Structures are given as C-alpha cells and as structure tokens.
Amino acid sequence: MGWAIALHGGAGDIPRTLPPERREPRLATLRRCLDLGAAALRAGRSALDVVELVVRELEDCPHFNAGKGSVLTSDGTVEMEASVMDGTDMRCGAVSGLSTVVNPISLARLVMDKTPHIYLAFDGAEAFARDQGVEIRDQSHFITEENIERLRNAKEANRIDYTQYNYTQPIQAPNDDDNSRTGTVGCVAVDASGGLASATSTGGLVNKMAGRVGDTPVIGAGTYANALCAVSTTGKGEDIIRHTVARDVVAVMEHRGLPLEEAAARVVAGVPRGSVGLVAVSAAGEVTMAYNTTGMFRACATEDGHSEVAIWPA
C-alpha cells in the first residue's frame, strides 16, 4: 500500500467549545507537519528520518506540550522527555529530565546511534547533549508565560494537570476549557521500503513532582516499532505504562492475528476511559488513530491520497 504517516498533538478532555484562537494554531501546525512528513516520504527519506523531522517541528511549536511548549513541574522547572524507535532493527533511544535541550527527540536518536545504551536521564543526558554539540538554551527559553499561569492555577486547585480532575475540592479555575495544551506530540511512519519508525516527545504533566518520568520515554509504553507496525501514544502516562499500550498493539497483531485498526481499538478499550490516544501505522501502509478520550489532535496521510486532520470524532 506504500508509505503512510500519522501524528498526534495530545489526547484528553478537549471540549468542542475550544475557541478558534486556541484550536486553529494547533490544527495549522498539524497540517504543516503532516505536509512536511509526507513530502519527505515521497522524496524517499526513511521512516526514521521522517518521524524525527516531524517531531522536531512539533517540539518547536509552543502550542503543544513538548520542547518550547513544555509544561512546568511543581518546582517551576522544565523536565522534557522523548524516545524514538526504528522498527527495521528495533534499535531505540530515550531521554528524560531535560531542561536545556531544544529538541529532545534528536538527543534520543543520538542515544540510539552514538551510545551502547537505550535510556539516558537528567544530568547524564544533559552532559551527553553538551558532548554531542546539540542546540541548548537556558531553561528560561522553555518557560512561557502561559505555562507559568497554568502552574499557578494547578497549584491553587491542588491538582496535577488539567486532564486529571483530581481536586481535593471542586474549584472553578481559569482556562479550564483549554486543557488541550497538555498535548504530548508523536509521529509514526512507514516508508516506501516498508521500514517503520516511531517518535514521541513531551514536557510531562503540569504541577508534576520533580523527577517524575511518564510513558513517553518508556519503550513499549509510549513508543514502539518493529517490522510489523509502529505506535506512538499520548494521554495519562501512569495508565499507559501500566497497560504497556504501544507494545500491546503490536502483540495483539502478532499473537491474535488481528489487523492494525482492530488491534489498536481493542488495546485502547482495555485502558481506563479518558486515559489514552495513539497513532499507528503498519508495514502494509495501514493507518489508525484511536483514543478513548473526548478528542485527540491528530493527522494522517497515505500514498494512495487519503489525508485527515481532526480533533473530535466525525
């Protein structure tokens, strides 16, 4: 069926009342990144190169919770995470606890390509970034006024993130209709040769404990790819880790013989409602974008001309 690509900008309780000024910049970025990735696949670039390229662009967009748009910990700091996996040979790389790296996804790929390891974190990952000469900035580069305000609201409401309504007491906080800003970003692709790859990047949860690691850098939870399919997830990290969501989609295909769409739907249905979304592609060029939340910022395109950019169910 040829090449295919899918990307996401986060899943959650995204209200249909989300105002255009909040909605349209995100959709425009998804369209631009989709076009960028599709053009790269048409030009013959590998799936691995394409997913890194697309996620770098999403990291550079302050409207999503990754890179420049990363949310803040309870200490008011940034701790970014990312991972990448090449389905051709199942090599993978992951990083977490980053506070100065402009494009965490590219550092994750360098971990994969340049070290004997899979996962580097915090001071060790930052030192590796400096050794590799990747672009770094002072932490203030990543701390936006919007995310300072979001942290303040979360602390006042005594909760973690806007997608988790775990108040000690009901509090009507400002901007509750804009919880979609918590969106992790990710991309999966299959190239013309049938090679598969997945990449995911995030800033974590608003008001999370410093040092918390979510699903994004955990291979098999937030990211997975092999010769059969590639998966990138988004949502509540603790639930995604518990259910090894990304790997389970592949496992259901492998061991139950189900097609991609049915396998993804079955896995998503097995996770607590409101917790997860994913994008996935198969070696045959199939695409699925499944979620059990109100909506998911998502986009996909295939060689046969199908293209979609959406938030909510049709």
pLDDT at 174 over 80: no
pLDDT at 182 over 60: no
> Residue 290 maps to which CATH number?
3.60.20.30
Whether 184 is catalytic: yes
Residues in the chain: 314
What pLDDT was estimated at residue 180?
Answer: 40
pLDDT at 179 over 70: no
pLDDT at 240 over 50: yes
pLDDT at 309 over 80: yes
Tell me the pLDDT of the chain averaged across its residues: 92
pLDDT at 191 over 70: yes
Residue-wise pLDDT for 195-218, tens only, equals 999 999 999 999 999 999 999 999
What pLDDT was estimated at residue 85?
Answer: 99
Give the helix/strand (H/E) hosting 296. strand 295-302
Residue-wise pLDDT for 106-153, tens only, equals 999 999 999 999 999 999 999 999 999 999 999 999 998 889 998 999
Name the more confident of 139 and 166. 139
- Give the rounded percent of residues in the chain with a pLDDT score beyond 90: 88
* Domain total of the chain: 1
- Give the rounded percent of residues in the chain with a pLDDT score beyond 70: 93
pLDDT at 163 over 80: no
Question: What is this structure's pTM?
Answer: 0.94
Q: Assign 175 a pLDDT band (cuts: 50, 70, 90).
A: very low
Give a yes or no: residue 285 inside a domain.
Answer: yes
Mean pLDDT calculated for residue range 15-41: 95
Give a yes or no: residue 109 inside a domain.
Answer: yes
Give the helix/strand (H/E) hosting 199. strand 196-202
Q: Please name which of 92, 288, 104, 80 lies closest in space to residue 197, comparing C-alpha atoms.
A: 92
Give a yes or no: residue 151 inside a domain.
Answer: no
Which residues constitute the domain of residue 256? 4-142+180-310
Give the helix/strand (H/E) hosting 307. strand 307-310
Q: Assign 173 a pLDDT band (cuts: 50, 70, 90).
A: very low
Give a yes or no: residue 191 inside a domain.
Answer: yes
Binding residues: 212-215, 234-237
Q: Please name which of 3, 34, 1, 64 lies closest in space to residue 310, comparing C-alpha atoms.
A: 34
Of the candidates 184, 202, 223, 302, the residue annotated as catalytic is 184
In this structure, what token pair is assigned to residue 294? 């109100």
Give a yes or no: residue 56 inside a domain.
Answer: yes
Mean pLDDT calculated for residue range 43-66: 97
Give a yes or no: residue 164 inside a domain.
Answer: no
Give a yes or no: residue 33 inside a domain.
Answer: yes
207: left (phi over 0), alpha (psi -120 to 50) or beta: left
Binding residues for substrate: 212-215, 234-237
Looking only at the bridges linking them, the beta strands covering 119-121 and 91-98 are parallel
CA torsion, points 110, 112, 113, 116, in degrees to nearest 10?
120
Mean pLDDT calculated for residue range 283-298: 97
What pLDDT was estimated at residue 178?
Answer: 43
- What per-residue string of b and e applies to 104-137 under the rule 16 or more CB within 10 Å gives b? bbbbbbbbbeeeeebbbbeeebbebbeeeebebe
Give a yes or no: residue 159 inside a domain.
Answer: no
